[in-house]
Structure 1
Amino acid sequence: MPNCDPEDFYQLITNTANESKASCGLIFNTFEDLEGHELATIRQEYYPNIPIFPIGPFHKCSLTTSSSSSSLLAQDQSCISWLNTQAPKSVAYVSFGSLAKIDQAQFLEIAWGLANSGQPFLWVVRPELVQESDWLEVLPNGFLEALNERAHIVKWAPQKEVLAHPAVGVFWTHCGWNSTLESISEGVPMICMPCFSDQMVDARFVSDVWKVGLQLEHGIERGEVERIIRRLMVEEEGEEFKERALKLKEKAKLCLKEGGSSYQSLDGLVKHILSL
């Protein structure tokens, strides 16, 4: 919710929380092994008389395929062909969602930081991402050519397919909840650049609670970008993030199987609806 007045946003959240107390049940796009403590708090302190159904990750339950995607932008499948030519866990995937915007100076710092990291990168630069400019106008002449096919830029990507690709080693994200869950479900560590609303909390959980990513704490600066990519993808420290990310991936997978927490919660939801 960019450019939203803080008071209006606070009122929206307050109204949503209060009105939900009159519901017959609440469905959450999460799972017990990811947010068990938070779900317990919700049950005990906020909605003690309302059943809670954490049945996520939703996208793993959906029958939607890349060919029938609900995406508002056309997905460029060329990125999958390009990923097929890259080494395992070598690519930094960069996408800031459908609403975030950056200025020209930030765009250039990101571009140079990615280039200087030495890692191949897939960058989603959707229309209107760069304020008051086309990204091709901002990049220096010869920038992409100098990278010698180490970079691939598209307007929109089939994100779930990209994150599941074995070549992807890190995801630089705005930390919207859908993107965060998609990355967790594929065991991909994250670089966090939250922009507004719940993204701030999501990023803090990624970096400080689950410890499967790092935040850009000091703004967008090419040296910082290069360092954080190398920490996660090249240096020994990165192996710890990868191991924790893979453990969460396994938990996300198990929760949807028969007997898993989300499986049981979905079964409970169906029974609850039939009882109303």
Structure 2
Amino acid sequence: MRPAAFSAEEWQTRVDLAACYRLVAHFGMSDLIYNHITARIPGTDLLLINPYGLMYEEITASSLLTIDLDGQIVRNADPQYGINAAGYVIHSAVHAHRPDVHCVIHTHTRAGMAVSAMKCGLLPLSQTSMRFYRIAYHDYESVALELDERERLVRDLGSHDAMILRNHGLLTAGPSIAQAFNTLYWLEMACKVQVDVLNSGQDIQLPPEHILEKTWHLYQPHVRRPFGEMEWPAMLRLLDRRDPSYRN
């Protein structure tokens, strides 16, 4: 049941964001208490973010903190938890400069970090990888604590929905939580495929460029459909079967 303190729109965003945290943990993409998934409260410039200290599998709709674009906490259900400054720098940069973005996800997965350290970047080794044939890159500038890095983060992301942070990890951004999660899931899969292929020691075969361009084009949301929306109800059913407490 929705608490009276929240509008219907904000509560739905909270439920979906809590679900996203649980899903990232379920699929092995979390990093203890670190990293972040943020979502914009509809009709505002306020963001929802995880309490710094909870694991992703502990996140609930009501436990999420509300912050403004300057990183100031507006609402906090449990004052013993604050926010991680590094997460605020990265996420606020994207939300402030991309009004089309509703959700931002940043991860430090094993495969994502491995590919982020490869000079070749993400290779179009599989159909899944070709979805990211045109992906953004941002060079490593140490732990993201300096506010002036935000300008370069946004510049490098451009209009893309996915970016590899060199020597760091992965970032996805989407107009909905469902779409951002879907992009992350398949980007992570593409990174796993690359690590497996390169580890095999076999010669690599890549399709010709016109096929890569065609495949990338077919993955664009305006060509077929916004990937993630159709899948989202199934993701929620998965969580509800396992542990529906994310809805609290």
- Shared topology, TM-score over 0.5? no
TM-score range, shorter chain: 0.3 to 0.5
Calculate the TM-score normalised by the size of structure 2: 0.34
Calculate the TM-score normalised by the size of structure 1: 0.32
Larger proportion of helix: 1
- Which is greater in Rg? 1
